[in-house]
Every structure is written in structure tokens, then in C-alpha cells.
Structure 1
Amino acid sequence: MKFINRCVITLKPKTEFIDWVESLDVELPEAWDLEGGAYLFDEHESEQGLVDGISDQARSILENEFSVWTEDEDQWPGPRDFATLKQLFTLHIAVAGFDLGKEPLLRADVADLL
């Protein structure tokens, strides 16, 4: 087991997000419990510093989550801010991360993986 110097934020879709996805013409998941992303943030000296970091990245997080379901940005909910992130997802913050994988970590820009 290896410690990683990141806080881990996981998102779990709330009813409002699920309702939005169900309004799209997409294949729906069998279990919403398995949906939602995980995001790594730098360690922070204070809880407020971490919350500020999440708030600063709220737009990017939301756009990433929306793009999973449709690339048509006209269909994405707005505004894309921290309040909307908290409205659509339950956020769980873990202040320590541990890597249990055997393979080396891959680090790449998402655009490079497409």
C-alpha cells in the first residue's frame, strides 16, 4: 500500500442529477450507486482551503460529469458553479489517499486519452 499526497473527493449523484440524465436520450445505468467521479486535490492546511480548491474547480468537475452523458453543451445544466455541484452531487471528502493498485499510476490529460 502506498500513500498518495492527495485528498480524494468522490461524487454521488443526487436526484436532481439523475433526473437530468433520465431526460436525455441515453442508456441509463443499472445502478446509480456506481456512478459519479473521484477527483484528487492537493493536500491543504485547512478544511476551508480544500473547500476553496473544490469551489475553484467546480466548473471543470461539472463539465466533466456532464460530458459523460452528452457532449451537447446546450443540454448541460447551469450555472456551473460550486452551488450547482452541491445541488447535483453529494460530495465525500477523504483527506488521505492510498494506492492499493499493483500497476503504476497513469497520469495524462483527459483529452489525450480520447
Structure 2
Amino acid sequence: MEPIPYYYESINRNAILVKPRKPFFKWLNEVFKDEAPVTSMEENNLYLVREMASNEDVEKWVSKNFESIFTNELNDWCTNEDEWPAQRTYKLFKEWFNIEIHSMILDLEEEPVLKE
């Protein structure tokens, strides 16, 4: 039996977990009226950003860079930009998505991380 390691290497990133809220699902179900309603997700997107000193710093980063995350979340479900909300503000982003910030990103694998 392999011994349990007491230390895993951490990755120099913070993670931002983005979870859709009811207003997002309302929009999604209006766009795709003829399909079965979506009310929750089993999986959510996790965004890695450079390591920052505090979760507050990551929150500030999100407030300045939310547009790219918002765009990606919308595009994952609907590629027709005409269906997207015209005014994608930070306020709307916060209404449509909960975010969780995580600072301890531990790599349990020996293989290098690959980007696609």
C-alpha cells in the first residue's frame, strides 16, 4: 500500500467557481422555449487566475474582468449573441451568477497540467 502523502504541491493560481442563479436559468429557458427547462447544473465552470494576496483581491479582479467570464458563460449555452442581454454589467453578472473564490489549489497528480 502506498503511503499517504502529507504534502501536495500547490498551484500558483486562485480559482473562481461560477454557479448560475435563477435569473440565468430564466433567460436560458426563454431562449430555448421548446426544450425541457433547465433549473440547475451538475457541473460549473472553474476559472484559474494568477495567485493573488487575498480573496478580496480576486473579487476586485472579477469586478474588473467579469465581461470575459460572463461572455464565456453565455456562449457555453447560446452562441447567438443576439439572444444575450445587451447590457452585461457587473451588477447583472452578480445577479445571474454566484462566485466562489478558492485560494488553495493542490495538485494531486504527477502528470503536468496541459492546456487546450
Tell me, yes or no, whether TM beats 0.5.
yes
In structure 2, the residue matched to 1:60 is 68
Structure with greater proportional helix content? 1
Q: Does 1:37 align with 2:45?
A: yes
Match of 1:7 among 2, 6, 14: 14
2:28 maps to which of 16, 21, 43: 21
Q: Structure 1 stretches of 5 or more lacking a match?
A: 109-114
Is the aligned partner of 1:69 residue 2:77? Answer: yes
Contact map agreement 1:36 1:65 (CA 8 A) in 2: no
Q: Deviations over 1:37-89 (max 9, x none)?
A: 11111122244322121112200000000001111111112422322221101
2:5 maps to none
- 97-106 or 81-90, which moves further after superposition? 97-106
Over aligned residues, Cα RMSD in angstroms?
Answer: 2.4
In structure 2, the partner of 1:50 is 58
TM-score by length of 2: 0.77
Q: Secondary structure at 1:32's aligned position in 2?
A: coil
Of all paired residues, the percent bearing the same amino acid is 31
Flag the structure with larger Rg.
2
Task: Please tell me whether the aligned partners of residues 8 and 93 of structure 1 are also in contact (alpha carbons under 8 angstroms).
Answer: yes
What is the aligned length? 108
Contact 2:24–2:96, Cα closer than 8 Å, also in 1: yes
Pairs within 5 Å for 1:58-97: 58-97=66-105
Residues 8 and 39 in structure 1, CA contact (< 8 A), matched pair in contact too: yes
User: Structure 1 length as normaliser, TM-score?
Assistant: 0.78
